Structure 1
Amino acid sequence: MTTTQTVPRPAATRGRTIGIVIGVAVLLASVAVGVFLGARHRAVTTTSFDGVREIVLDVDQGSVALARAPGATSEVTVSREWRSAEPRTSAAVVDGVLRISARCMDGSCATAYDVTVPAGATVRLGVGAGSVQAVGLDVHGFAAGIGTGSVSATFAVPPDRVAMRAGVGSLLVGVPPADYDVDARATAGMADVRVVDVPGAARTLRVEAGSGTVQVAVAG
C-alpha cells in the first residue's frame, strides 16, 4: 500500500495567494465600475478676440464669470468637463458681436467660462442652470436670464440699463451712485432694494425672480 502525504502549504504562501486573488478581484471590480461610469475628462481653452462691442452667451448648464478687460481685447477661457460626451462649445465674432455657446449633450458634463469684457460693451447672457458672477464691469447694458441658479453683477461705472431675471434662485446687483429707475421684485421670496428709485430716470434697473431673493444695492 502506498501512502501519499500532503505537505501543508506554508502560511506565508497561502497569505500571498489570498492577497493576489483579492487584488485581482478589486482590480476587475474597479475596471467594471470605470467602464460603467466612464472616465472623467477635462480640457481648457483660451481664445482672444478683438473688435468686440457686444457679448452674447448661451450656456445650458455651468458657470460664467465676467470681469472688466484691461484693454480692447476680450479673452475667453472655457473649462470643459465630461464623462461620455464632450460639451459642444463655440465662440466667434461677427460684425463686432462675440457669440459664445455651450451645450451638454448627455447631462454628464459641465462648462465654466471666464470672459473679460471691454469697456463700453453690451452683455447679454442666458444660462439654463448654474451661476453667473460679473465683477466691476464698465458696460452700457447688461442683461442676464437664468432658469435655476444665481446671478451676481457689480459695476464700476453706472450702466445705462440692467435687466436680470431668475426662475428659481438669487439675483444681486451692485451699482455706483446715480439716478436709476428701479423695478425689483420677487414673486415668491424677498426683495431688498437699497437704491433710491427715481421714476423716469434715464438709467434703468429691472430685476425679477420668480422664486428666490433679489437684492439691489449701491456698490462699495
Structure 2
Amino acid sequence: MQSSPAVGTFLSSGRWGIVAGTGTYWKGASDTNKLMAFDRNCYLNWKDDLHGISDSSPALADVKGTGQNWIVQAGRVSNASSIVYAIDGATGHATWRVTVPGGVYGGISTADLTGLGYQDVIVPTVTGTYIIDGRSGKIVLKVGAGYGFQNNALVTNDPNGAIGLTLAGYDGKNRGVLFHYQFTNAGAKGANVNKKGAWPMFHHDPKLTGDANTPLAAKP
C-alpha cells in the first residue's frame, strides 16, 4: 500500500473503516491502482479501480453536507491528467468523478469555502491547484497556475477571520515557491475550517492521526 491511509466511521452502519490506495509497487498485479476499504478487523469491504495510479492520500470529508464522510481520492492517469473521485464509503460507489489537468502526487484537502455547509475539494497537481465543488464535482477555480505541487494544501483559520490556503511547490526552473491565498467571499469563514467533516491538511490534523473522528483544534 503506497498511499497514507485514512481512518474513520465511513463504513455501513457507522462502522470504523480504513481506506488506502495500493499504488503500483507490484506492477501488473491484479490490485494495482486500486483503492481498498477494510473494517477494524482488517477484512476487505470493497475495492475500486481508480483507472490511474492510486498512491496519493485519500481524505474523508462531508462533501454533501449531510454529516456523512465521503472518501475523496485521486487516480493519476499520467503526469498530465488525474481523475478525482468522491466515493460513498459504505458501498464503494462514486457519487461523482472529474478529470483534472496534471498529475496528483500528494493528497487532497477540503474546506467549506462558501459557507453552504459542505466541503469543497482542494486538489494540488503539477500544473496548479484545482478547487472542486464538493456537491457537484465541478471544477470552480484554479490557483497557482503554472506551478507544480506534489503535496497537500494547508487550510487555516487566519487571524483576520478569512479562510487561508497555503501551497508549497516549485516553478518551471525547479525553484521552490510558497503561496498563501485568502478566501474572503460571502460565506467564507475561517471559523468553519476546523469543523467536523473537514480535512484541512495532510493526514487530517496537526498530530497526523489520519483519523476523521479526531476533533480538530478550534484554531490551527
The two structures have a TM-score, normalised by structure 2, of: 0.28
Structure with a larger share of its residues in helix: 1
Structure with a larger share of its residues in strand: 1
The two structures have a TM-score, normalised by structure 1, of: 0.28
Please tell me whether Structure 1 or Structure 2 has the larger radius of gyration of its CA atoms: 1
